[in-house]
Amino acid sequence: MIPALEVRGLTTRFATRKGYVTAVNNVSFSVAPGRIMGLVGESGSGKSVTAFSIMGLIDAPGEISAGSVRIEGEDMRQMTPEAQRKMRGRRVSMVFQDPMMTLNPVLRVGDQMAMAVQVHDRVSKKAAWERARDALDIVGIPAPTERLQAYPHQLSGGMRQRVAIATALLHRPAVILADEPTTALDVSIQGQILAEVRRLADDTGTAIVWVTHDLAVVSSLADDICVMYAGCIVERGTADQVINHPCHPYTHGLIQSVPSLHEPGRKLPQIPGSTPQLSQLPSGCAFRNRCAHATDLCRTDPPDAARGERRVLCHHPLEEEA
Amino acid sequence: MPGIVHDNVLTVPSAPPIETRITRLRNFWSDYCRSPIAVVALVVILVLLFVSFGAPLVSPQDPYDMAALDWLDAFLRPGDIGSGGYVHILGTDNAGRDMLSAIFYGLQTSFIIGLSAGALALLIGVTIGLCAAYFRGWVETVLMRIVDLQLSMPAILLALVLVAVLGQGVPQIIGALVVAQYAYFARTTHGAATVERGKDYIEAAQSTPLPTSRVLFAHLLPNVLPPLIVVATVQVASAIALEATLSFLGVGLPLTEPSLGSLISNGFKYIHSDRYWLSIYPGVFLMVTVVAINLVGDQVRTVLDPRNAR
Amino acid sequence: MFGFLAQRLFQAIIVVFAMSIIVFVGVYAIGNPIDVLIDPGATAEIRDNLIRQYGLDQPLWRQYLTFLGNVAQGDLGKSMVYNISVVDLVFSRLPATLELVLVSVVIATVIGIPAGLYAGYRPNGIAAKAIMALSVLGFSVPTFWIGMLLIMLFAVNLGWLPSGGRGEVGTIFGIPTSLATANGWSHVIMPAINLSLFKMGLLIRLSRAGMVEAMNTDYVKFARAQGLPDGQIVFRHILRNISIPIVTVFGLELGSTLAFAVVTESVFTWPGVGKLIIDSILQLDRPVMVSYLIMVVILFVQINLSVDIVYARLDPRVRLKGGK
């Protein structure tokens, strides 16, 4: 089966006054239709830039310097800018972090959604509004006809995020990239939206890339997980493999520091140090300064390792515990 | 299990190096230099400041010294040699004044007026803005209402009427400009201070037994400073332009106290004859001065804007 | 919406009253107009008569009350110089100023807003840099000096346009205006450009700033993620958003265009109210000064009020808040 999304060797860099900074470094993964992939990392790890790179929405001073992004087998990077634009919203769409900011405050919800319909399909305004209403219905918004008449500020945060998801769904895209879409919401609302998204993936066969820093969210939602650190994917595998049998010391540390995945009553462990700045990465392995297993090899050679289905970017991967 | 994870509470994240005042200044300067035009503008301002305040040293003639003026030298073209035996690079005016000297002295008057009006307006405006932001309540309402009202009136009209009320002369003009301009500083200070006021650190400072005024100046002022610097440069430029405009309209300074405006105003009378140098050259200096100050202000604004940090 | 309007209206009336007192007291502190009006050699009797005729012997507060009473009847007094009613005087000059302001505002808008939007859309291009450089010039070079250069170039050197004054007056839809004749246009175009430059610079900056800011917002990124072409994003998403601050400042600045007309009218000897006020200040013609200033205040208050209303129309957030 052709994957809904296949990313190979994607590399994105930003020109700064002190030369290029690589924010996304040789990232590869693929997502099958109906699957949800969690892209996990701390802030600054390059996960949002990865999402924007897939969309082809990197502006100067940034540029995608290498790699391919295939949507159902078609390489976005080989297309003209105009063809890429026609892919966006139709075959691949995106939902943003802050629902307070993603909708235009001065336009009615219905107008904004209808505009998104009409940009790809030549339908009447009336038909576009109907499609918008159906989309709101799918994401579980009550009284969708009235909601279409509303301005964004009249809706709650959770409702706005549902509107954003509905907008992303309008053209039944093969892939939806969700950039921390529940981070700004209350936990109870977050749960509702996660359930809704899971159902959507199962029902419509849309592949979803769920970008987040929250391991607890992906562990309950995602089928597969990629862990990013300093622009690289350091570990990749199924959710079960990554959560229950982490191989990379970083992943292990992340999991240990999530309260809900840890035994209650114990002091919460932490990963020492903080995410390095991309412009000042150490030589060799980017994680070595914070890693208890680091050796001289880690200082000199960047790790490059793959173990079957799983990929672990480490010289000293942890043994899988039985 | 050999843990990469330490069960500690004391891990201190490696913080970026603390910015000292000197490195901050150096960063500011290197950011500023990214615009070559702004650097040129700064150099131009320094040169103009030198020739204006050093006018007695660098100008060939003292234009205030009526005894040194010779009617026979009137309307000499640029480059002509007058009775003084030296070249009048920019020509002479209707009274035989060397234009270059008159411009240097005029620039001095313009700078004095612009800088003192700017400084006084800054002082008064900042005080009013800070008080309004800090005391809130009716003090804020009354002060800011007055400021808003004044801001809705164009400065030129206000200054025009004030100069008419106060009469001609340098102190009067400065007074009129201060009244016309303080409101911009008050508005800026108040706006920035209101934003800062809402932040936690001010509340934290207020919960300590420090006196009100300490909190006000020690905490609010440094945060309000960046936008104020920008407004100040713009206001000095606009004070110089306003003074020139008032003098041009005939309500500013008389020709016996030459500012750039009164020089241009005098030259304007001869605009239909061929004597362009009487009005063009002082105008060029005025334009260069005002534009240079504005360019510097623009670049300072760009550098200080946190959104432009890379 | 109604409560909001009523509140603004009430504030506006208070402002006009307060300003009328300030203006009255301020203007009446200026010199003694009698000294200007009459020959220094005139007898004390003539002098006293004149003072009584203009009510200058009354205490200030009584003069103010008399003035208010007259104003209520639409009488703003008589010009001391022209010896005709101030209302007639100002209204005879007003059409000239209005047509000048109108033409200059149109020039500023038609050039300024698209130029600014473009500069904000492609902020690093050469065209954007050139546009911004122009706006700095328009913004900072004093109006009177540019006006002078225009006269020197187009009137004195090239001889293409007249150097000053208002042209022949024709009628459009029964309104007498010099915009109805070619000769009138040849007179108005230079001062109008002169007057428009400052506002054009302002509009360029405003629309550029708005555009740059909007291009970085999430809603624009979201619109791009939906595959909307840039043109649609600019015209349907961004324009609506940034028109709010542009309309606000534009409206506020409309008044200042009238004020700057004072300078332009002086340079081009344009027979409008701006020239009138300068002349009356130089000649200490108090009634004209007071009336002009109070009219300006009323005008500004009215502009503020209309801006509030337009603002409320454009921004649904304000509209709904006011409606409660």
User: Does the beta-carbon distance from A249 to B7 stay under 8 Å?
Assistant: no
C214 in B contact zone (CB under 8 Å): no
Nearest to B164 among C19, C141, C281 (CB): C281
Claim: this prediction has a pTM higher than 0.80 = no
All structural domains of chain B: 31-308 (1.10.3720.10)
* CB count in 10 Å sphere of residue C162: 16
For chain B, give the mean pLDDT: 77
Q: Which residue of C has its CA nearest to A169?
A: C226
Q: What is the mean pLDDT of residues C65-82?
A: 76
The verdict on a CB contact (< 8 Å) between B5 and A256 is: yes
Judge whether A37 and A29 are in contact, CB under 8 Å.
yes
- pLDDT band for position C99 (cuts 50, 70, 90): confident
Q: Does A89 touch chain C (CB under 8 A)?
A: yes
Q: Are A198 and A169 in contact (CB under 8 A)?
A: no
Give yes or no for C291 touching B (CB within 8 A). Answer: no
Instruction: List the chains bordering chain A where 3 or more Cβ pairs fall under 8 Å.
Output: B, C
In whole angstroms, how far apart are CA B189 and each of B156, B178, B197, B201, B222?
A: 22, 16, 11, 18, 11
Nearest chain C Cα distance for residue A199, angstroms: 22
Q: Does residue B307 register a pLDDT over 60?
A: no
Q: What per-residue confidence (pLDDT) applies to A54?
A: 92
pLDDT of residue C31: 58
Q: Compute the 3-state secondary structure of chain B and give helix, strand, coil in percent, each to the nearest 5.
A: 70, 0, 30
Contact B157 C156 (CB under 8 A): no
The pLDDT value recorded for residue A36 is: 92
What is d(CA C254, CA A131) in angstroms, rounded to the nearest whole number?
44
Does pLDDT of B127 surpass 70? yes
Span B63-87, pLDDT tens digits: 776 666 666 666 667 767 766 667 7
- Give the range among A84-98, B9-23, B277-291, B295-309 with minimum mean pLDDT: B9-23
Which residue in this structure is represented by tokens 């346009």?
A: C161
- The answer to whether residue C296 neighbours chain B at the CB level (below 8 Å) is yes
Distance from CA of B147 to the nearest CA of C (A): 12
Closest chain B residue by Cα to residue A268:
B7
State mean pLDDT over C260-273: 86
Q: What is the pLDDT of residue A142?
A: 86
Distance from CA of C290 to the nearest CA of B (A): 10
Q: Is the pLDDT of residue A308 over 60?
A: no
Q: Distances in Å between the alpha carbon of C140 and those of B285, B299, C202?
A: 13, 15, 10
CA distance B193 to chain A (A): 25
Q: Which residues of A touch C236 (CB under 8 A)?
A: 107, 115
**Cβ distance of B4 and A252 shorter than 8 Å:** yes
Please state, in angstroms and rounded to a whole number, the distance separating the CA atoms of residues A126 and C99.
45
So what's the pLDDT on residue C66?
Answer: 78
- Residue C240: Cβ-neighbour burial (10 angstroms; 0-12, 13-18, 19+): middle
Choose the closest CB to A167 out of C124, C226, C316: C226
Whether C46 has a pLDDT exceeding 60, the answer reads: yes
The mean pLDDT value for A180-199 works out to: 83
CA distances from C180 to C110, C170, C198 (A): 21, 5, 26
Q: How confident is the model at residue A39 (pLDDT cuts 50, 70, 90)?
A: very high
A276 → chain B, closest CA residue: B14
Mutation for B interface: A270, A275, A278, most B CBs within 10 A = A270
Q: Does A257 touch chain B (CB under 8 A)?
A: yes
Q: Give the pLDDT score at B119.
A: 92
**pLDDT > 90: percent of chain B:** 4
Smallest Cα distance from B23 to chain A, Å: 17
Q: What is the pLDDT of residue C109?
A: 87
Put simply, the answer to whether C30 touches B165 (Cβ < 8 Å) is yes
Domain ranges, ordered by start, for chain C: 2-72, 87-282
- The verdict on A90 touching C (C-beta cutoff 8 Å) is yes
Residues 3-32 of B with CB under 8 A from A: 3-9, 11, 13-14, 16
Residues in chain C closer than 8 A to B298 (CB atoms): 136
Residue A42: pLDDT band with limits 50, 70, 90: confident
H/E element, C113? helix C86-121
Distance from C-alpha of C100 to C-alpha of C270, rounded to nearest angstrom? 9
- Structure token pair of residue C80: 């001391």
CA distance B221 to C300: 33
Residue A182: count of CB within 10 angstroms of its CB = 26
Between A118-127, B109-118, C4-13, C148-157, the lowest mean confidence (pLDDT) is in: C4-13
Q: What is the pLDDT of residue A321?
A: 44
- Cβ neighbours of A105 in C, within 8 Å: 219, 241, 316-317
Q: How many CB pairs under 8 A join A and C?
A: 81
> Max alpha carbon distance in chain B (Å)?
103
Calpha distance C204→C201 (Å, rounded): 5
Domains of chain A with bracketed CATH:
5-91+171-312 (3.40.50.300)
What is the average pLDDT across C178-197?
Answer: 82
pLDDT band at C71 (very low <50, low <70, confident <90, very high): confident
* CB-nearest partner of B286 from C18, C29, C145: C145
Q: What is the pLDDT of residue C242?
A: 82
Count helices and strands (H / E) in chain A: 12, 12
Return the CATH superfamily for domain C87-282: MetI-like (1.10.3720.10)
Residue B298 has a pLDDT of: 81
Q: C217 contacts in A (CB within 8 Å)? A: 101
Count the Cβ atoms, other than its own, within 10 Å of residue B191: 15
A270 is written with which tokens? 């932490």
State the pLDDT at residue C248: 72
Mean pLDDT of A239-257: 84
Give pLDDT, residue A177: 92
B302 touches chain C (CB under 8 A): no
Instruction: Say if the Cβ atoms of C278 and B249 lie within 8 Å.
Output: yes
Note the pLDDT of residue B71.
67
**B residues 221-280 near C, CB within 8 Å?**
237-238, 241, 244-245, 248-251, 264, 268, 271-272, 276, 279-280
Q: How many residues make up chain C in this entry?
A: 324
Q: For A246-271, what is the mean pLDDT?
A: 74
**Mean pLDDT, range C10-39, rounded to an integer:** 70
pLDDT at C30: 61
**pLDDT band at residue A265 under the 50/70/90 scheme:** low
pLDDT of B15: 42
State the distance between the two ends of chain B, measured CA to CA, in whole angstroms. Answer: 42
In single-letter form, the type of residue at position A71 comes to I
Chain C residues bordering chain A (beta-carbon distance below 8 Å): 124, 217-219, 221-229, 232, 236-237, 240-241, 244, 314-317, 320
**A273 neighbourhood in chain B, CB within 8 Å:** 11, 13-14
> What ipTM did this prediction achieve?
0.86
Mutate to test the interface with C, among B141, B162, B165, B246 (most CBs of C within 10 A): B165
Option in A17, A274, A292 nearest B4 (CB):
A292
State how far the alpha carbon of B188 is from the alpha carbons of A114, B135, B141, B225, C213, in Å.
Answer: 41, 17, 16, 10, 20
Alpha carbon of residue B115 to chain centroid: 6
**A127 in C contact zone (CB under 8 Å):** no
Asked if residue A157 has pLDDT above 60, the reply is yes
CB contact A15 to C (< 8 Å): no
Query: What pLDDT score was predicted for residue C177?
Result: 73
Distance from CA of B101 to the nearest CA of C (A): 20
Across A197-206, B12-21, B23-32, C158-167, the highest mean pLDDT is recorded for: A197-206
Contact (CB, 8 A) for B65 and B258: no
- The band of C317, judged by pLDDT with boundaries at 50, 70 and 90, is low
CB contact under 8 A, C144 and B153: no
Q: Which of A120-124, C10-14, C86-90, C319-323 has the highest mean pLDDT?
A: A120-124
User: Does residue C202 belong to the interface with chain B, where contact is any CB pair within 8 Å?
Assistant: no
Q: Please, what's the b/e burial string for A199-235 (b: 16 or more CB within 10 A of its CB; e: otherwise)?
A: ebbeeeebbbbbbbbbbebbbebbbbbbbbbbbbbbb
Average pLDDT on B98-107 reads: 83
Q: Residue C323: what pLDDT?
A: 36
Give me the mean pLDDT over the B248-275 stretch: 78
- Chain A residue with CA closest to B3: the answer is A292
Measured between CB atoms, does B25 come within 8 Å of chain C?
A: no
**Residue % of chain A over a pLDDT of 70:** 93
pLDDT recorded at residue B306: 61
